[in-house]
Structure 1
Amino acid sequence: MKVTILCVGKVKERYLTDGIREYAKRLSAWCTLDIVEVADEKTVEGAPEAEEDAVRRKEGQRLLAKIPDRAFVITLEIEGEMPDSVALSKKLQKLMTGGVSHFVFVIGGSLGLSPEVRKRSDYALSFSRMTFPHQLMRLILLEQIYRSFKIMNHEPYHK
């Protein structure tokens, strides 16, 4: 099983990189994990919508270039489905049983995902209607993937 976290921008805070490293280590029992970062575009607060669209398109092109053709793509979107941890685990397990061997989770930049990336998505996932910093979202996502594997393998994990 291969899991790729494909994201815009770099994580700069040490406490986040420490947490990401810890969950990457834990996940190594069940999958090969790759974290792939693409460059983010600088944006000005209050930029016109056309400029924001151009930023999303540029970041989207970079993301799409890193997605393998046969991968199952899960985009993180505010408008996506909001399963609980057990339901997410069951969904991933069902997909694996059905032959999926590579998941690519996509975390967009501060302006979100381009329509082209959203079109490429096989499943839109939301953790909340709230907005989270994309650096923090990487850690939260890894924890939930880890939790999913623990649930699939009937192993205890704190609630």
Structure 2
Amino acid sequence: MQKITIICVGKLKEPFYIDAVAEYSKRLSRHCKLEILELPESRLSDTPSQGEIAQALAAEAATITAKLPKNTAIIAMCIEGKLLSSVALSEKMEQMATAGASSVTFLIGGSVGLHQSLKDQAVLKLSMSPMTFPHHLARIMLLEQVYRSYQIQVGSKYHK
């Protein structure tokens, strides 16, 4: 069974997000070993300088790097990433599993994104959309797409 890790910067507080994570975690338990790690987001001033943002991203990158599973395929969620259909993501995940990637780790940055060093380590930079979403909602959207990927692989009617 493939291990899926989602490393997220920022903690969910809203009950509706927490409930959605619980629901998709339950659904995914039939398909993979899921681990979700919430890491603290660096505090920034209301109008942070580029230097302050760079420092926050570097600190978050160090924390993320320390939590990365060994021998994992990294997928960085970022706005400049590749846009994939649900079917294409499912195929990509299946290719990774076939190629021996028993562990896949998705990275979701905080409100200012991910440090470039993390993006450089990724086997795939993935974008959900050219639109902007709250990073907490992106977590739910990602969980749904991972679940959908497994449903596509087993030929379920979930994906129409």
What SS class does the counterpart of residue 144 from structure 1 fall into?
A: helix
Paired residue for 2:57? 56
Paired residue for 1:74? 75
Q: Give the unaligned 5+ runs of structure 2.
A: none
What SS class does the counterpart of residue 11 from structure 1 fall into?
A: coil
Paired residue for 1:104? 105
Question: Per-residue deviation at 1:69?
Answer: 3.0
- For residues 147 and 5 of structure 1, the distance between their equivalents in structure 2, rounded to whole angstroms, comes to 16
Paired residue for 1:18? 19
Return the TM-score normalized by structure 2: 0.96
What SS class does the counterpart of residue 19 from structure 2 fall into?
A: helix
- For residues 45 and 72 of structure 1, the distance between their equivalents in structure 2, rounded to whole angstroms, comes to 35
Question: Per-residue deviation at 1:45?
Answer: 2.4
- For residues 39 and 159 of structure 2, the distance between their equivalents in structure 1, rounded to whole angstroms, comes to 33
Question: Per-residue deviation at 1:158?
Answer: 4.8
Aligned residues: 159
Write the deviation string for residues 13-72 of structure 1: whole angstroms up to 9, x where unpaired: 000100110000000001010001111111112211001100111111111111123000
Write the deviation string for residues 79-114 of structure 1: whole angstroms up to 9, x where unpaired: 111010001101111111111110100000111111
What SS class does the counterpart of residue 25 from structure 1 fall into?
A: helix
Paired residue for 1:152? 153
What SS class does the counterpart of residue 104 from structure 1 fall into?
A: strand
- Call closer, same or farther: CA 1:158–1:150 in 2, change over 3 Å: closer
8 Å contact 2:152–2:159 — kept in the other structure?
Answer: no
**Letter of the 1:19 counterpart:** A
RMSD, aligned CA: 0.9
Q: Give the unaligned 5+ runs of structure 1.
A: none
Where has structure 1 moved over 3 Å in runs of 4 or more?
none
Return the TM-score normalized by structure 1: 0.97
Q: Kindly report which structure 2 residues correspond to 1:112-151, keeping only aligned pairs within 5 A, or say none.
A: 112-151=113-152
- For residues 159 and 125 of structure 2, the distance between their equivalents in structure 1, rounded to whole angstroms, comes to 26
